Structure 1
Amino acid sequence: MLVTDPAAFLAEISSERYPVRAAATARAAFLVSPASDRLAAESAQDNRYMDMAKVPDPARALRQHAELARRLGADVPVLTFPGDPDCPDDMFPNNVFATARGRLIVGRMRHAVRRREAERADIRGFFRDVLGYRTIDLSQRDFVAELTGALVIDRARGIGYCGLSERCDMHGARAMHEAFGLNLTFCFELAPGEYHTNVVLALLAGRAAILAPDGFRDPAVPSAITQACDGRAVALSVAQKQAFAGNAIALAPDRAWMSTAGAAALEPAQRAALQRAGFALRDVELDEIEKAGGSLRCCVAEIF
């Protein structure tokens, strides 16, 4: 079922038809190492978090990325695929590749520079030939669906939160709902200028949310999401959102990860709220990678 009205979403989610039926966190993750010495000018057309005036330092980005992989390995096995110098955004693979119950899902990207990533034979082959996953290929379809950039998922209950923008339209939302096998998807418009839901909303192991209210066109949407989490939500300011505090992930039931800039932006009361929800907060320095308009969660493709 797809719903677009906050009141309808709350009525549906309170019906007790969506109990916990699956693991809330991934069993592994994969990353793609940064390999380009430039930013993707095409992506900057609708990603206001990018600053084309900033000159990337490829060596520093690679060191930060390697440290991210090492640190996340404390929670799950982490694989790293090599990056492509001709694909400046490929260090954000979760927009292009995602998994669900033995399926590899390949997204339909808005920009041509990112569509090249979807053609990678090595990632497709790993999931097909090594893990035995079935491929659901959306990459050539006539819509836009940038997977877990646009779609934030409560994996435990099979509930999706899909932000509509230039990076995901309603047809794409429906295709992702079916590809991930979700029970319920709440679709809503992001605020003008926002490109991905996972910058303004994180769901941590299905138990708590981090959200930026100004990132949603309708203020009733973040309110409804907060109610759906039984009030276990940390609301971010505009400055905290800009620092990527909303681009967080839980790869273990008791630990949340975000970049050092995002973590530093949080107030003590917000950190305490995450602790009460059962999450220890950990961070990794990613300021070089954040020049490209994404942060920690964008770097992580979960393997379910």
Structure 2
Amino acid sequence: MCPPEHFTVEYAINPWMDITVPVDAALAVKQWDLLRNTLVDLGHTVHVLEPVAGLPDMVYAANGAFSVDGTVYGARFRYPQRADEAGAHRAFYTRSAWTYKTPEHVNEGEGDFTYLPGAHGGVILAGYGFRTEPAAHAEAQEMLGRPVVSLRLVDPAYYHLDTALAALDDHNVTYYPDAFSPASQRVLAQLFPDAVLADRVDAEAFGLNLVSDGRHVILNTEATAMGAKVRAAGYHPVHVELTELKRGGGSVKCAVAELRR
């Protein structure tokens, strides 16, 4: 995770960003601290990436890379405003003795990739349509040695995979069908017949932008209906207020890069 010490909305690169509404910087830090403490209280180790002045979106740490079994597929950002974030993430992983793979193609890390080690022998789900290039899916497959299933995103409000789909455990997912093309919806239905299906209300509340450890599902306080859905599916929802981070187009998952050794 990366603290939002420099977080602001000074440019608009997704439909949620409004440069006319000021960010409450102190509240953003307070909410981020609450998320970090919630994860620690649930028994997880949180590593902190140092924020860099001039990179206000570094708080969305999930976008900086994607790791599987100790190998890291680095990010290459679509927009120049975020390009320098990739170097900060690369430094963190190389310093920590991960195997780091530098990408040739545009991809935004866990924003558009997720991994389910227990599903279909271990499968990567990958989004495209707005940020990550389809060619990055093949590149990730070669670098990580896991099969990649490409899913086309069609609604600009859900510009990253992690705004429209999340892994609930090693085997199953939750997703908002209308964020995907009809063909991608058919693929998801075939791969995950027991998925928890979300609706537009859930998606607009960033209820899919969650983190799950297989038992606890951490999601923002606005996603009450989504919380009820995951509870009905046998998980324990844990709500955290992240209203300020939503101003930049992210929530719980955007703020957390999962480290898969």
Instruction: State TM-score, norm by structure 1.
Output: 0.78
Which structure 1 segments of 5+ residues have no match? 1-30
Q: Describe how 1:143-162 pairs up with structure 2 within 5 A.
A: 143-156=105-118, 157-162=121-126
Match of 1:52 among 7, 14, 19: 19
Q: Partner residue of 2:83? A: 115
Question: 2:202 matched to which residue of 1?
Answer: 240
Partner of 1:273: 232
Map Cα deviations across residues 129-176 of structure 1 (whole Å, 9 max, x no partner): 3x32121111xx2x3111211122213342122121131111111112
- List per-residue Cα deviations over 1:221-256 (Å, max 9, x = no partner): 23432342232x222221220100111121x23211
Confirm whether residue 34 of structure 1 aligns to residue 1 of structure 2. no
Classify the secondary structure of the residue corresponding to 2:222: helix
Q: Is the 8 A contact 2:130 2:153 kept in 1?
A: no
Q: Which amino acid is the alignment partner of residue 239 of structure 2?
A: D
Fraction of identical pairs, as percent: 24
SS of 2:26's equivalent? helix
Q: Matches of 2:84 and 2:2 in 1, distance apart?
A: 14
Counterpart contact for 1:158–1:181, Cα < 8 Å: no
Q: Which has the higher strand share?
A: 1
RMSD between aligned alpha carbons? 1.9
The one of the two structures with greater contact order (alpha-carbon pairs below 8 A, sep at least 6) is 1
1:49 Cα deviation after fit = 2.5
Residue pairs, 1:43-82, within 5 angstroms: 44-45=12-13, 47-73=14-40, 74-82=42-50
State the 1:39 CA deviation: 1.1
2:93 match: 127
Once the two structures are superposed, the pairs formed by residues 1-304 of structure 1 within 5 Å of their partners are 31-41=1-11, 44-45=12-13, 47-73=14-40, 74-120=42-88, 123-129=89-95, 131-138=96-103, 141=104, 143-156=105-118, 157-182=121-146, 184-193=147-156, 194-218=158-182, 220-231=183-194, 233-250=195-212, 252-262=213-223, 264-266=224-226, 268=228, 270-275=229-234, 279-304=235-260
Runs of 4 or more consecutive aligned structure 1 residues displaced over 6 Å after TM superposition: none
State the 1:272 CA deviation.
Answer: 4.0
Greater Cα radius of gyration, structure 1 or 2: 1
SS at match of 1:124: helix
Number of residues paired by the alignment?
Answer: 256
TM-score scaled by structure 2?
0.90
Structure 2: 5+ residue stretches without partners: none
Aligned AA for 2:221? T
Cα drift, residue 59 of structure 1: 0.9
The residue number in structure 2 matching 1:17 is none
Aligned AA for 1:186?
Answer: V
Distance 1:222 1:206, change over 3 A: farther
